[in-house]
């Protein structure tokens, strides 16, 4: 059954997260500061102190196209691994756009349409968020413009095609149509782009267009809030409580969506589950970044967010998990990581694709590159259980399918996939540009 409410974890935390700051005054931003970018309903959800937020009927009507999503026990994978662990996965690839991103795209489009917005602008890495927002805009008669990170724009042409089928206009980022994109191209005409650059471009256009607003696919509180339908459903569907919950992290929405309802149960003393975030070794904001106030975008157009960051000037290597190529991490998740509420580890690109192929050949679903990070860690944990004899219950998030990512699988199968070793001096250089 589809949940009737989204869950807001903030009131249940032992300490509140630090607020976003206005970069000029260093004072907490208010609703008026955010109004040029977001509708008031979403601004209210961003700072809400309510534990549960009702899901509008119009949003539920669209959710019913794919929700509730299946929770599946990976019996064939368990057998192939020879593990006593019991592995479950929550599969979000059944949404029209093919990933969990539609869970927040639909309410964001709904609230904007209700406020009279004509155009939504956004960025996208791998294209899953852009596809989801294009779909959602088509449901509520909104125009949509998407700045797609150049590396993914070239690697995933059919993601671009899907957005265009839904009616979106798609720009390769950095693009010459914005001031921030033009500046990057002037400095580096061959820039692979980054989510930070694409955010700058989308924000620039939204802020300059009176009947336009900006939509973000991860990072912010209201986005994580909408994704909690995943964990709320999983709580009802699971026949046994997990010992370990594993999810990939780029901006944090998929991990938060699965884990927050379970964390609520742990904070209340009802379960003892361990939570583990998995990020790419090429973009390790939790494990090698710093916890500091930084811009959410490259050009410095956003408020300052207290988060784990590699520096807003950091441009990650062009790994195929484009949705995880973000210099920062959700401020809420960063705060919770500082509180010790979950663990974080990294995985290299090749071992993730190895896990993706193994999963496809046993469970039959080709995963997107992003959740292969969680699958690689899930398989490693299951093999540790094989050695120890532990019968752990593991839950993971399969947040999207990889049907538009077969070019990346081609490269892996041909032995052409590279693992990027991130030198520490690149991080240190980017961190020198943190706002003082």
pLDDT at 151: 87
Specify the pLDDT at position 326: 80
User: What's the mean per-residue pLDDT of the chain?
Assistant: 94
Q: Taking each helix axis from N to C terminus, what angle separates 331-338 and 253-267, rounded to the nearest 10 degrees? A: 40
Give the Cα separation of 101 and 399 in Å (integer).
8
Domain count, the chain: 1
Mean pLDDT of 70-75: 98
Greater pLDDT, 89 or 250? 89
Residue 320's pLDDT band, with cuts at 50, 70 and 90, is low
Local confidence band at 18 (pLDDT 50, 70, 90 cut-offs): very high
What pLDDT does 298 receive? Answer: 78
Q: Which range is most confident: 30-34, 125-129, 381-385?
A: 381-385
8 A C-beta contact, residue 307 and residue 220: no
Is residue 213 domain-resident? Answer: no
Assess if residue 149 is contained within a domain: no
Average pLDDT over residues 197-216: 94
pLDDT at position 418: 85
pLDDT in tens, 392-428: 999 999 999 999 999 889 999 999 988 887 889 888 9
Separation between Cα atoms, residue 263 and residue 260, nearest integer Å: 5
266: in domain: yes
321 pLDDT higher than 70: no
d(CA 296, CA 369): 23
Q: Which of 20-34, 149-163, 350-364 has the highest mean pLDDT?
A: 350-364
Within a domain: 279: yes
Residue 301, pLDDT > 80, answer no
For residues 274-292, give the mean pLDDT: 95
Q: How far apart are CA 62 and CA 229, in angstroms?
A: 14
pLDDT tens-digit series, residues 368-398: 999 999 999 999 999 999 999 999 999 999 9
Look at residue 410 and tell me if it is in a domain. yes
C-beta of residue 55 within 8 angstroms of C-beta of residue 107: yes
Sign of CA dihedral 95, 100, 104, 109: negative
Name the percent of the chain lying above pLDDT 70.
Answer: 98
pLDDT at 131: 97
| Mean pLDDT within 172-194 | 94
Pairing of strands 393-398, 290-295: unpaired
Q: How far apart are CA 267 and CA 17, in angstroms?
A: 16
Measured between alpha carbons, how far is 135 from 130 in angstroms, rounded to an integer? 9
**Is the per-residue pLDDT at 324 higher than 80?**
no
Q: Report phi then psi at 115, rounded to 5.
A: -90, 5
pLDDT computed for residue 315 by the predictor: 78
What percent helix, strand, coil does the chain show, rounded to 5? 45, 20, 40
Least confident range from 66-70, 157-161, 340-344: namely 157-161
Q: What confidence score (pLDDT) does residue 164 get?
A: 98
The predicted structure's pLDDT at residue 195:
83
User: Considering the domain boundaries, does residue 130 fall inside one?
Assistant: no
Give residue-wise pLDDT tens across range 104-116. Answer: 999 999 999 999 9
What three-state secondary structure class fits 262?
A: helix
**pLDDT recorded at residue 51:** 98
Candidate from 76-80, 256-260, 294-298, 316-320 with smallest mean pLDDT: 316-320
417's tokens: 């996939």
Does position 299 have pLDDT exceeding 80, yes or no?
A: no
48 within a domain of the structure (yes/no): no
Strands 5-7 and 52-54: what pairing? antiparallel
Is the separation of the CB atoms in 323 and 329 below 8 Å? no
Instruction: Give the CATH number for residue 273.
Output: 3.40.50.1100
Structural domain harbouring 318:
58-98+220-432
Tokens of 20: 């976003």
Can you give the pTM of this predicted structure? 0.95
The answer as to whether 26 is a domain residue is no
- Which segments of 314-374 are extended strands (E)? 343-347
pLDDT of residue 323 exceeding 70, the answer is: no
CA 281 to CA 397: how far, in whole Å?
Answer: 19
């Amino acid at each position: 059954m589809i949940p009737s409410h989204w869950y807001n974890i903030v009131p249940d935390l032992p300490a509140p997260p630090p607020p976003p700051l206005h970069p000029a005054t260093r004072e907490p931003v208010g609703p008026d500061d955010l109004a040029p970018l977001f509708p008031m309903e979403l601004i209210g959800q961003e700072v809400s102190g309510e534990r549960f937020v009702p899901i509008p009927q119009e949003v539920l009507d669209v959710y019913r196209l794919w929700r509730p999503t299946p929770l599946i026990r990976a019996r064939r994978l368990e057998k192939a691994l020879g593990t006593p662990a019991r592995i479950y996965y929550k599969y979000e690839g059944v949404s029209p756009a093919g990933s969990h991103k539609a869970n927040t795209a639909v309410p964001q489009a709904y609230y904007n349409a209700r406020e009279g917005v004509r155009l939504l602008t956004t960025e996208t890495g791998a294209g899953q968020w852009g596809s989801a927002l294009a779909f959602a805009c088509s449901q509520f008669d909104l125009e949509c413009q998407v700045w797609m990170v150049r590396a993914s724009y070239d690697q995933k042409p059919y993601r671009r095609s899907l957005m265009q089928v839904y009616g979106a206009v798609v720009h390769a980022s950095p693009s010459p149509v914005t001031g921030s994109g033009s500046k990057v191209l002037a400095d580096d005409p061959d820039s692979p782009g980054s989510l930070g650059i694409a955010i700058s471009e989308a924000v620039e256009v939204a802020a300059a267009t009176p009947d336009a607003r900006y939509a973000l696919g991860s990072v912010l509180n209201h986005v994580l809030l909408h994704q909690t339908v995943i964990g709320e459903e999983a709580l009802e569907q699971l026949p046994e409580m997990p010992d370990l919950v594993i999810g990939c992290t780029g901006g944090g929405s998929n991990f938060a969506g699965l884990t927050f309802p379970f964390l609520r149960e742990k904070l209340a003393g009802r379960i003892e589950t361990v939570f583990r975030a998995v990020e790419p070794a090429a973009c390790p904001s939790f494990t090698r970044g710093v916890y500091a106030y930084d811009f959410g975008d490259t050009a410095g157009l956003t408020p300052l967010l207290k988060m784990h960051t590699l520096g807003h000037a950091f441009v990650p290597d062009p790994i195929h998990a484009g949705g995880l190529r973000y210099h920062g991490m959700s401020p809420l998740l960063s705060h919770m990581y500082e509180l010790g509420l979950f663990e974080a580890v990294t995985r290299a690109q090749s071992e993730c694709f190895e896990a993706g192929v193994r999963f496809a050949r046993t469970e039959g679903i080709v995963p997107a590159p992003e959740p292969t990070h969680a699958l690689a860690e899930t398989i490693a944990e299951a093999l540790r259980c094989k050695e120890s004899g532990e019968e752990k219950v593991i839950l993971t998030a399969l947040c999207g399918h990889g049907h538009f990512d077969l070019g990346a699988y081609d490269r892996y199968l041909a032995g052409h996939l590279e693992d990027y070793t991130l030198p520490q001096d690149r991080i240190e250089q980017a961190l020198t540009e943190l706002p003082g």
